[in-house]
């Protein structure tokens, strides 16, 4: 641990940020998995709802700097393709 007061404060701030970012990364993964589960169950309505939620979570992750724009675009495209592939 640092001896300088401002560095001690910075270490605490960094830890809080680290925990918040970990939570946001987990939320992204969970949102993606929810869409995939709905697609596997062939539930078009649930898949569409989960896809809408996933888009929102992905966009927030992009704005917060958690994920890159290419990652977000790739995931949105992949999930949209999966949702649209459901017959119904």
Give the span between the Cα atoms of 76 and 62, in whole angstroms: 12
Q: Token pair of 70, please?
A: 């290419």
Homologous superfamily (CATH) for 5-84: Ribosomal protein S20 (1.20.58.110)
| Sequence spans of domains, the chain | 5-84
Identify the pLDDT of residue 87. 83
- What pLDDT, in 10s, does the model give residues 7-49? 999 999 999 999 999 999 999 999 999 999 999 999 999 999 9
Element containing residue 44 per DSSP (H, E): helix 44-64
- Which CA distances in Å does 7 have to 29, 59, 66? 33, 32, 24
* pLDDT value of residue 88: 66
pLDDT band for position 2 (cuts 50, 70, 90): confident
Residue 86 contacts residue 44 (beta carbons within 8 Å): yes
């Amino acid at each position: 641990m640092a001896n300088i007061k401002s560095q001690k404060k910075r270490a605490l701030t960094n830890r809080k940020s680290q925990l918040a970012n970990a939570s946001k990364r987990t939320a992204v993964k969970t949102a993606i998995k929810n869409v995939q589960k709905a697609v596997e169950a062939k539930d078009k309505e649930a898949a569409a709802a989960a896809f809408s939620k996933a888009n929102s979570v992905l966009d927030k992750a992009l704005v917060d700097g958690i994920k890159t724009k290419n990652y977000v675009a790739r995931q949105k495209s992949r999930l949209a393709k999966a949702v649209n592939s459901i017959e119904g």
